[in-house]
A and B are shown apart, each in its own frame.
Chain A
Amino acid sequence: MYWNKEAETIETTLLDKLQADRLRSTVETLYANVQFYKSQMDRAGVKPSDIKTAADIRKLPFTTREDLRENFPDGLLAVSKENIVRLHTSSGTTGKPKAIYFSRHDLDAASELMARNLYMTGLRRSDTLQNMMTYGLFTGALMMHYGAEKIGCTVIPAGPGNTARQISLMQDFGTTAIHITPSYSLYLASVLQKQGIDPERDLSIKKAYIGAEPYTEETRNKIESLLKVDAYNCYGLSEMNGPGVAFECEFKNGLHLWEDNFIMEILDPVTGETLPDGAEGELVLTTLNREAMPILRYRTKDITKILTDKCPCGRTHRRIHRIIGRADDMFIVKGVNIYPQQIERVLMSIKGVAENYQINLENLDKMTVKVEIDSNMFDGNVEHIVNLRNEITELLKDEILVKPTVELLEPGTLPFSEGKAVRVIDTRTM
């Protein structure tokens, strides 16, 4: 059941020591080879010799997205160019690109982690993984690809889009697992339904690896029941190798974050203060096993919390809660902080609501939530639709404390996405 039992079930005291050793060596390398980190550390008055334990990480300066952009294209390289075997860029959802470099060692380490992740969910040599993420500058598809190949399963590098072709690939080659975004998986489910294809009867998919966008437990449940799969949540970001930083095991109770490769911290996103385990805040990650471009205390902007209870799977690496929101995605209506995920959570729990929705922000006090109705709920009685709209409005108000305007739309009206979905349309001018 373990890909690498020794690493996955490492004793906490050994893990602490490993983290301290790897952190020290990372800091030494960066101080010696990367001007940006040397000057940041000098400014903070910290020397490599000040780092003795993993807890000393708090003495180190942060790295932000802006730092990555300012040092674009190669200011954060810790090795010479001849040691680089791969370049990826990340546009994130907004802004200029960030360049991420990998040495041979780094690609191997990233594939190894991905193999751990996939094996942990039960993926084996006999499986066929259809990889429906974008291949290219984005890390998402390639890292998954390498991890699956490392296990020895068959990989179909389908990429996203062309849903009809995706479905024939699944039928022709007996795909047993897919790697896909949450929004595209919901769209795929609607196409299957429209074409009268029953995933349980007509397809062989058993597992879905869902990532690249934050989504809620309600959405996972919906994907699982529509596609008849076990859906696993995966977390990662290009700056930290790509997908596979943290992954769910068979218990699906949070994502094991591989602490032999990363040090995680949770901070108050505003004050930068370290928060205790269990408290909700911004996830901050430090690479421990990277050669070409190690990064110290990277501000991910992802909001989560560390779960400390032991996982029945026996892995000792602590888990994070599924991403609760992105510090960047938060918006304010009538003075209330709202994450789009809160709205999604409510919508996906209501019967009669289809997969697609959109949040429109017109001014500081008005928010309109556009929701497609599920065509099966329409029985010809308009009163039932009015009731549904009232129910959605009330449940949203309970969750976000602001009463939105809810518009019900015909299914298929909103633009669907084969990549990262755009859920919030903000037309306010500040």
Chain B
Amino acid sequence: MNTLRQLSVFAENKPGRIEKITKTLADAGINILAISITTTTEGFGAIKFIVDNSELALNTLKHNGFTATLNEVLGIKLQDRPGGLYSVTTLLTKNNINIENAHVFVDGHREKAYLLIEVENLADAKERLSREGLLFYPE
């Protein structure tokens, strides 16, 4: 199944956390393709990455004492034109798919953009959206 593995790192809201995490990834030679940050009012959050080598990134972070995990996300191809995102969100609504978290990822050649979504039932969402003719990463 062509889904993406997203790396999530638990972090307290305090200065320097992202710097430390990204330095650890940089030192391991890992390329970050996308990043998003979720914070809460409770003083912590999660930093989410799409990287070129998710297993290595996970092991490196854990080895350095970070609390991290990998989870599957769906990358929906976006059309590079006005209304491109709207046409996708319309289909999500139509299929009653509730997004827990989302961000955008531009592929290596800067040609294609993908909307990355975390949903409760990934397989089901993917099936419904493919019936609508949407394309996913990697194509």
Q: Which residues of A contact B (CB under 8 A)?
A: 373, 375, 378-383, 385-386, 389, 407-413
Please determine whether B11 and A410 come into contact, CB atoms closer than 8 angstroms.
Answer: yes
B91 within 8 A of partner (CB): no
Q: In the complex the two chains form, is B12's CB within 8 Å of A379's CB?
A: no
CB distance from A354 to the nearest CB of B (A): 10
Contact A378 B45, beta carbon cutoff 8 Å: no
Contact with A along B55-90 (1 / 0, CB 8 A): 000000010011111110000000000000000000
Listed A/B pairs (7) with beta-carbon separation below 8 Å? A378-B67, A380-B70, A383-B100, A407-B43, A408-B42, A410-B67, A411-B65
In the complex, chain B residues whose CB is within 8 Å of the CB of A413 = 12
- Residues of B within 8 Å of A408, CB to CB, are 12, 42-44
Nearest 4 pairs of A and B residues by beta carbon: A380-B8, A375-B67, A380-B71, A378-B10
Q: Which residue on A lies nearest to B67, using beta carbons?
A: A375
CB pair B71 A373 closer than 8 Å: no
A380 cross-chain contacts in B, Cβ below 8 A: 6, 8, 46, 48, 69-71, 118
Q: Does B38 contact A (CB under 8 A)?
A: yes
Q: Is the CB of B44 within 8 A of A385?
A: yes
Residues of A within 8 Å of B68, CB to CB, are: 375, 378
The yes or no answer to B93 lying at the interface (CB within 8 A) is no
Instruction: List A contacts of B66 (CB < 8 A).
Output: 410
B10→A389 contact, CB < 8 A: no
Residues of chain A within 8 A (CB-CB) of B44 are 382, 385, 408
* Residues from chain B with Cβ under 8 Å of A373 in the complex: 10, 67
In the assembled complex, which residues on chain B have CB atoms less than 8 Å from the CB atom of A383? 100
A164 to B: closest C-beta gap in Å: 15
Nearest chain B residue, comparing its CB with the CB of A409: B12
Give every chain B residue within 8 A of A378 (Cβ-Cβ).
8, 10, 67-69
Chain B's closest residue to A380 (CB) is: B8
Q: Main secondary structure on chain B at its contact with chain A? A: strand
- Interface code B21-59, partner A: CB below 8 Å = 1, 0 otherwise? 000000000000000001010111110100000000000
CA distance A385 to B38 in the complex (A): 12
Residues of chain A lying within 8 A (CB to CB) of residue B43: 407-408
CB distance from A294 to the nearest CB of B (A): 51
- B interface residue numbers (CB < 8 A to A): 6, 8, 10-12, 38, 40, 42-46, 48, 62, 65-71, 100, 118
In the bound complex, how far is the Cα of B11 from the Cα of A153, in angstroms? Answer: 47
The interface residues of chain A lying within 8 Å CB-to-CB of B70 are 380
Closest Cβ of chain A: how far from B131's Cβ, in Å?
A: 27
Q: Note all chain B residues with C-beta closer than 8 A to A407.
A: 42-43
Separation of A103 and B65 alpha carbons in the complex (Å): 50
Give bound CA distance, A354 to B43, whole Å: 18
Neighbouring A residues of B100 by C-beta, 8 Å? 381, 383
Q: Which residue of B lies closest to A389 (CB)?
A: B42
Residues in B whose Cβ lies below 8 Å from that of A381: 46, 100, 118
Who on chain A is nearest to B70 by CB?
A380
User: How many angstroms from the CA of A410 to the CA of B66 in the assembled complex?
Assistant: 7
**Contacting B38 at CB < 8 Å: which of A382, A389, A411, A412?**
A382
- State in angstroms the CA–CA spacing of A385 and B48 once bound together: 15
Q: In the docked arrangement, what's the CA distance between A379 and B46, Å?
A: 10
Complex Cα distance, B10 from A378, in Å, reads 7
CA distance A326 to B48 in the complex (A): 45
* Docked pose: A378 CA to B38 CA in angstroms: 14
Closest residue of B by beta carbon distance from A379: B69
Which chain A residue has the least Cβ–Cβ distance from B6? A380
A389-B45 Cα distance, complex, nearest whole Å = 12
Give the complex CA separation of A355 and B100 in angstroms: 30
Instruction: Please report the C-alpha to C-alpha distance between residue A381 and residue B45 in the assembled complex, in whole angstroms.
Output: 9
- Report the minimum CB–CB distance from B51 to chain A (whole Å): 14
Cβ distance A204 to chain B, nearest Cβ, rounded Å: 27
B38 contacts across to A, CB distance below 8 A: 382
A412–B66 alpha-carbon span in the complex (Å): 9
Q: For the complex, give the distance between the alpha carbons of A167 and B11 in Å.
A: 30
- Minimum CB distance partner of A408 in chain B: B44
Given known contacts A378-B10, A380-B48, A410-B66, is B71 in contact with A386 (CB within 8 Å)?
Answer: no
Bound CA span A315–B70, Å: 54
Q: How far is the CB of A372 from chain B (nearest CB, A)?
A: 9
What's the nearest-Cβ distance from chain B to residue A265, in Å?
47
When C-beta atoms are compared, the residue in chain A nearest to B100 turns out to be A381
Best-surrounded residue of B46, B48, B68, B71 (most CB of chain A within 10 A): B46
Closest to B41 in A: A386
- Complex formed: what's the CA distance from A380 to B24 in Å? 19
Residues of A with C-beta under 8 A to B40: 382, 385-386
CA of A38 to CA of B12, assembled, Å: 61
Give chain B residues whose Cβ lies under 8 Å from the Cβ of A382: 38, 40, 44-46
Are the CB atoms of B10 and A412 closer together than 8 Å? Answer: no
User: Chain A residues with Cβ under 8 A from B71's Cβ?
Assistant: 379-380
Contacts of B45 in A (CB 8 A): 382
